[in-house]
Structure 1
């Protein structure tokens, strides 16, 4: 049951006029700085854009040193009240063994991103122990004019409008599928399936005990999704789970995906809910990584069992 798990610490809520840092721990992307500042200012927040955002080192946004320094500096800056990543791509795993987790633990704050940023969600969960947010990237999502639930979900969680006991909204226009019915209590953790698999066998692999696994991916055909799930099964990870929430698996036929999910998880007798609009999709809903939740796959509901942010 959920009470046997030690809750991850909530982070200080983003205040109504809190300063938001922008960092690029993974790949590069051109940023329309004026557009970004105006977009965020219209919603009451100023931006502090860290140097690596404007750099490009082949497929990386700046050198490892630049990207690591920006990550550390954004957490250490007392004026910064939340950190959002510019984009995913690749590069975040290269930083993991150089991160000062003591620094992060001393300066918890909302940290937001997805895709390659999954590596940081897993590492922070394991070594800093506070809630992070699988949510929109600045460039592709917030500045990409994604559907309104993307922004509503983002700010409602960060501003603390959703408390313990709240059901996370899911737009009715995107029906969910019960792959395996049941109710599970556990810690929501995961993200991009390829990154979860890539960290297996490292000190940063997912700690799956008591976890409700969230997975999403993009540009991976069905057989590769099968291979990634099989890797987690053979590694003994899936047998530790309490439930599974499947986000968007972009480019894969939904019925074929659900058949694969049933084959994979039915023997484990755990609830599985598929079709949650989080990941490389529109809208892209924010999820609190490391938070205690209840997944009711039959009723197609996800309920917070802890506050994920606290008033400053």
Structure 2
């Protein structure tokens, strides 16, 4: 399992970086939003830059990430948005710096590349969760915000059930119980890292996958890629998040066809990813999946209180 990180302290400082794509930020609104929740927001330089489809040059985005981790006054790091750009930083990340300064790191979509790399080489829990622009300032419905902050503040620990809103029923595709590290994220990004030094270490994990704007045949292709790479045969269980833009019944058929031969628990419909609400999941944390009971339970503390 990955190591827990220090909890987000009350009245702490949250650093905002843009390791992937650009977005227009209403800085005053963002600072007011954080202040209303008791936090100070520090915006790093790359957030205000644009280099085509990137939020600033690779050097700017990398420097912001390193600076946010190295700064002892920063208690947690939030990403502005996804898009594309995170993979361009992987072979230049200073994992020794990150490992020496663990702190909550939050994002999803393209940020999956950073989750995989940090978990593999820095060894601490990261958080697949709400980003500032589209999710928090976009006023996505609860429990988007509460799911994020309850984990970061340490209100959930070993034995806690990760709550899922009853308004969005989960589906047991394959029953069973399995424990392992929860790891994954955006399916397209997971597949894109295969064959590199940053590919997912799938041995015994609870695999989490989600995606957006990919037609069914591409989801099939991505899952087949993971299968042919030998990754699916290694996993202990699967949690399927939101797969936006795909017919649910067709998706369910593909998922059953893909995972049934593995005889592992599979739970589908978890509201995490490009969806509203967008629930936070601790990447690298040891969890227990009970697909029959539709439960995901923490088997370690993901943050450490002072």
Q: How does 1:78-157 map to 2 (within 5 A)?
A: 78-157=72-151
- Hey, which bits of structure 1, 4+ residues long, moved more than 4 A? none
- State TM-score, norm by structure 2: 1.00
Report the equivalent of 1:233: 227
CA shift, 1:206, in A, is 0.1
SS in 2 for 1:148: coil
The correspondence for 2:257, drawn from 250, 259, 263, is 263
Paired with 1:17 and 1:293, the residues of 2 have a C-alpha distance of: 29
Paired with 1:148 and 1:289, the residues of 2 have a C-alpha distance of: 21
Paired with 1:173 and 1:93, the residues of 2 have a C-alpha distance of: 35
Structure 1, residues 255-280: CA drift from partner, whole Å, max 9, x if none? 11111010000000000000000000
Q: Which ranges in structure 1 are unaligned for 5 or more consecutive residues? A: 1-6
RMSD: 0.4
Paired with 1:255 and 1:131, the residues of 2 have a C-alpha distance of: 33
Paired with 1:180 and 1:193, the residues of 2 have a C-alpha distance of: 20
CA shift, 1:148, in A, is 1.7
CA shift, 1:16, in A, is 1.3
Paired with 2:189 and 2:142, the residues of 1 have a C-alpha distance of: 28
Paired with 2:169 and 2:154, the residues of 1 have a C-alpha distance of: 26
Paired with 1:212 and 1:16, the residues of 2 have a C-alpha distance of: 31
Aligned: 1:218 with 2:212: yes
SS in 1 for 2:143: helix
Structure 1, residues 4-39: CA drift from partner, whole Å, max 9, x if none? xxx210000000111000000000000000000000
Structure 1, residues 50-97: CA drift from partner, whole Å, max 9, x if none? 000000000000000000000000000000000000000000000000
Aligned: 1:196 with 2:190: yes
The correspondence for 2:268, drawn from 274, 285, 293, is 274
For this pair of structures, how many residues does the alignment match? 306
